[in-house]
Structure 1
């Protein structure tokens, strides 16, 4: 008999914000997230955001009074805390630029098997938009965003 896995996938990504409503607006307007829930937890407010893919991990925006723009230092240079997959990276690059987001140059990696660019969110967190021939294909949630029953 095979042992069950201890873990099967990443469940959530936590991103701090000093202004929850502003960050919800930024992520839903610029990055195609949908607000699923907003509530108080352990002394601060948080928002659960989802992407349209069935198996996408949730992004949890955590409101805090501590201003902290996140990035990883990689060999002395900034490196992103999250990479977001884009089915059409050229469109995404142009759309973010049109929305006034300061985006980096679209870079091609290898022989065109992958493309990416960097940008920062409304709180200054360093993010990456990425596309590659190896990105998993996934089903979309239907409808998305989900319709509330009630």
Structure 2
């Protein structure tokens, strides 16, 4: 009945951010409006929207102490290729880390919004193929 329709990202300059998201994430513009723009990514069905704000807004939450977690992540098949792509385009990233077989790193957009990139292991219950199997069982 429900599925994720869109993710909204606060940005302070929508025009510059449109260019950044197109270049660095391969986002394809669907349409724009006075203070925003909507995109699709070549893979997946969730849409992405940039919404212009006056001041920076958080795109992460605090777990414990000062440890933070982003609200959403991007999944890739080849994390090393994604990491190389960001470095070639001078995008700030953290080092690639291994978390129980899953590899991940964070990157930051023009407003320093943090996002995670993950490369889920094939045998993980969270891998898209395994989730698809669960969906087909319903």
Normalised by the length of structure 2, the TM-score is 0.82
Q: Give SS of 1:66's match.
A: coil
The gaps in structure 2 that reach 5 residues or longer are 130-138
Verify: 1:96 aligned to 2:86, yes or no. yes
Q: Give SS of 1:13's match.
A: strand
Runs of 4+ in structure 1 deviating by more than 6 angstroms, as ranges, are none
The superposition leaves residues 39-83 of structure 1 with CA deviations (integer Å, 9 ceiling, x where unpaired) of 13xxxx110011112x42011100121222432111121211220
Q: What is the CA distance between 1:36 and its match in structure 2?
A: 1.1
The gaps in structure 1 that reach 5 residues or longer are 138-150
Q: What is the CA distance between 1:108 and its match in structure 2?
A: 1.7
Name 1:141's counterpart in structure 2: none
Residues in 1 aligned to 2:53 and 2:82: alpha-carbon distance in whole angstroms: 29
Q: How many residues align?
A: 124
Partner residue of 1:67 out of 45, 56, 66: 56
Between 1 and 2, higher relative CO (CA 8 Å, sep ≥ 6) is seen in 1
What is the root-mean-square deviation of aligned Cα atoms in Å?
1.5
Residues in 2 aligned to 1:70 and 1:136: alpha-carbon distance in whole angstroms: 24
- Higher CA-based Rg: 1
Name 2:105's counterpart in structure 1: 117
Relative to its length, the structure with more helix (as a share) is 2
Verify: 1:38 aligned to 2:32, yes or no. yes
Q: Give SS of 2:31's match.
A: strand
Q: Give SS of 2:4's match.
A: coil
Within 5 Å, which residues of 2 pair with 1:120-135?
Answer: 120-132=108-120, 133=122, 134-135=126-127
